[in-house]
Structure 1
Amino acid sequence: MSDRVTIPTKLTRRANKVVRPRDAADVYAHPRSEFERLLDQAVLSHISTGYYAIAPMERLGDPRWRPDLAAAALGVGQADYGRDAVALMGITAARRHGALPRATGTAVVAVPKQRPVLHTNVGVVVFVKRDVSRLDLERVETELTAGWMTTPEQTALDIAARPKLGGIAESDAWSILRALARKIDWTVVEELARDQHRPGALARMKEVAVA
């Protein structure tokens, strides 16, 4: 790592390591130009227009480092809406729950507002408008931030409701549901389906689970 690599303590102590230039307005007089310097020093990794990831301390100065897609997706969502208004969901949560054996090039994140797909340097982020306070959630830790993701029960219900969300084949969605069915509490699923008005998704889950 070069001796020239420096980063203000205020940035390294951020809970969310995904930053936008305006997030550093109280650190730099001209954050955009300073971000360019930090990019050159491989202190930051460019995610997408307006979004950057702060490299872990052990990878500062390493131009090969790139953030994990799920971590980047959660971090982008938190940067725009705050920690408690976003959550990993769908196939991204399924991957974290061990129900999807392979990584995908798409991450799915619940946010409070409708917004287009975001193409990043590490994959595609699909945003789904959801009221996160109404979802069944659990904590998740990523290399960039800590936050929320849907529980196995909520994840299964969401995938049953929208099996192709995230660009996967329907057959892959059913495989995920069968994997999740082995670890979910069906009483919780039924309560969620009732509260979220998703009887069709519940019926589909049950049909796939016994197939």
Structure 2
Amino acid sequence: MPSYAAPRVPGDLIRRGRVLRPADAAGIYAHPRPEFRRLEEGGALRRLASGLYAVVPDDLVGTHWLPDLESVALGVAISGGRSNAAALMGISAARVHSAIPRTINVATVAVTHHRRNLELTDRDAEIFFVRRDLDRLDLQRQHTELADGWVTTIEQTVLDLISRPDLGGAPDAAEEAVSALLIRSDLDLLRRLADQQHRRSTVERALKARP
């Protein structure tokens, strides 16, 4: 009797991203939605939200693989060919910079065009999309298990968190992150960014409040 072979996502499709929509499979499958359901049932795709799927690593097919929220947020934000139109910011950037060790059930992503916030169906979490001019932000490249993209630098993250601590509904986590990141910040760069983004008074108040 032939052994069962788990379904695999075609390489041509994976090259379009590791967070996929059925629309991404046009030209690969004649009927993408039924094929995505087959791949999901076989463990090769994980449904993140309606119409959004993550490619499960080959060695983790059939397991309870759960990609981290920051990776999901970046992957979702750049899906559909928007690779240079998004960056992890705020709480999510602080997590990437190891300033918040515990899990947070919100993610924040800077995007160039308006997008509705997204509730994930594979976990109790929400992605907040914030319209920003990415050319004015201080960014660095970031590799995650689902996407390669951008994240705000430590100094930009501090500036964003002290300017909008309630963004994402986790002000306590934002305060914790600012305390941790200020110690590691280049204060001259932080002040230059604050001047460029018209937030110098906000930064100076935060620096004066440091213990």
TM-score, normalised via structure 1 length:
0.92
User: Following the alignment from structure 1 to structure 2, what is the Cα–Cα distance between the partners of residues 12 and 61?
Assistant: 18
CA contact (8 A) 2:109 2:127 kept: yes
Corresponding residue for 1:11?
13
The question of whether the paired residues in 2 share the 8 Å contact of 1:160 and 1:201 is answered with: yes
Match of 1:198 in 2: 199
Number of equivalenced pairs: 207
Q: CA deviation at 1:182?
A: 0.8
What residue number does 1:84 align with?
Answer: 84
Letter paired with 1:182: I
Compute the displacement of 1:131 (Å).
1.2
Identity %: 43
Which one of the candidate residues 137, 154, 172 is aligned to 2:139? 137
Do 1:18 and 1:144's aligned partners in 2 also have CA atoms closer than 8 Å? yes
Shift of 1:174: 2.4
Aligned position for 1:114: 114
Secondary structure in 2 aligned to 1:108? strand
Match of 2:26 in 1: 25
Q: Secondary structure at the match of 1:133?
A: helix
After TM superposition, give the deviation of residue 84 of structure 1 in Å.
Answer: 1.1
Unaligned runs of 5+ in 1: none
Give me the CA root mean square deviation: 1.7
Q: Which amino acid aligns with 2:38?
A: R
| Aligned pair partner of 1:153 in 148, 152, 155 | 155
Alignment check: 8 A CA contact 1:42 1:60 kept: yes
1:112 positional shift? 1.1
Match of 1:104 in 2: 104
Cα 1:65/1:188, change in 2 over 3 Å:
same
Q: 1:69 deviation in Å?
A: 1.1
Check whether the contact 1:153–1:185 (CA below 8 A) recurs between aligned residues: yes
Deviation at 1:57, TM superposition (A): 1.7
Following superposition, the deviation at residue 67 of structure 1 comes to: 1.9
Aligned mates of 1:4, 1:53 — CA distance in 2: 16
What secondary structure is seen at the aligned counterpart in 1 of 2:84? helix
CA separation of 1:189 and 1:29: change in aligned 2, threshold 3 A: same
How far apart in 2 are the matches of 1:4 and 1:94? 37
Q: Aligned residue for 1:42?
A: 43
CA distance in 2, matches of 1:163, 1:75: 24
Structure 1 residue runs of 4+, over 3 Å off? none
Opposite residue 133 of structure 1, the aligned amino acid is D
Q: 1:98 to 1:50 in 2, by over 3 A?
A: same
